[in-house]
Amino acid sequence: MDSLSKIKTRDALTAVRADLAAQGQVVVFTNGCFDILHRGHVEYLEKARQCGDALVIGLNSDDSVRRLKGAYRPLVPEADRAFLLAALAAVDYVTIFPEDTPQSLIEALQPDVLVKGGDYQLNTIVGREVVEKHGGKVLTIPLVPNRSTSNIIQTIVDLTKQGIFN
């Protein structure tokens, strides 16, 4: 499957999810902004994929990222972020959601496993109740130390202040 065909609308992905369920496949869901894709993201997604048969990513829309991270984010537009994520071998499907949280997307997809980074406490993970109500699992995966979009941005800011990019 090529990268573009892995990017689905919510409605199309809901139909795919039903097919996967009918086949007895375990669907893993995670979500995030994934702005400036980096090693920490890739390792996290590879570990998430190991938790089931298909990995679905809910990707925050550009407007959603701006509301969550500030007016200057995202640095990479949603179409490009979705394409890069879809190009990863660990990722089966990507869908963009406009809300600030993935609650309604999780309600629509009913994943078997919900995964977030280790910086989350289980009781604060959005959608936890939905997944657990249907017998699913909610897991956290440890973050890769010193690998984050914020660190990359800070490095660029520091280098700019030093005149490296002038």
pLDDT digit string (tens) for 56-91? 999 999 999 999 999 988 999 999 999 999 999 999
pLDDT digit string (tens) for 31-40? 999 998 989 9
152 phi/psi in degrees, rounded to 5? -65, -45
Q: CB count, 10 Å around CB of 19?
A: 9
CATH of the domain at 111: 3.40.50.620
Going by the DSSP 8-state scheme, the letter that residue 7 receives in this structure is B
Structural domain count of the chain: 1
pTM score of the predicted model = 0.91
Residue 97 lies in a domain: yes
Q: What pLDDT shows up at residue 165?
A: 72
* Mean pLDDT in residue range 98-112: 97
Tell the residue number behind the tokens 């919510």, with chain if given. Answer: 10
- Which residues, in sequence order, are CB contacts of 59 under 8 Å at separation 6+? 31, 32, 33, 34, 78, 81, 82, 85, 94, 95, 96, 97
Residue 166 lies in a domain: no
Confidence tier at 134 by pLDDT (50, 70, 90): very high
Domain residue limits at 39: 4-161
Residue 29 lies in a domain: yes
Helix (H) or strand (E) holding 97: strand 93-97
Q: What pLDDT shows up at residue 166?
A: 65
105, pLDDT greater than 90: yes
Compute CA distances 67 → 15, 22, 52, 103, 150, whole Å. 29, 37, 31, 16, 16
Compute CA distances 105 → 7, 64, 77, whole Å. 15, 14, 20
Confidence tier at 150 by pLDDT (50, 70, 90): confident
Q: What pLDDT shows up at residue 46?
A: 97
Residue 123 lies in a domain: yes
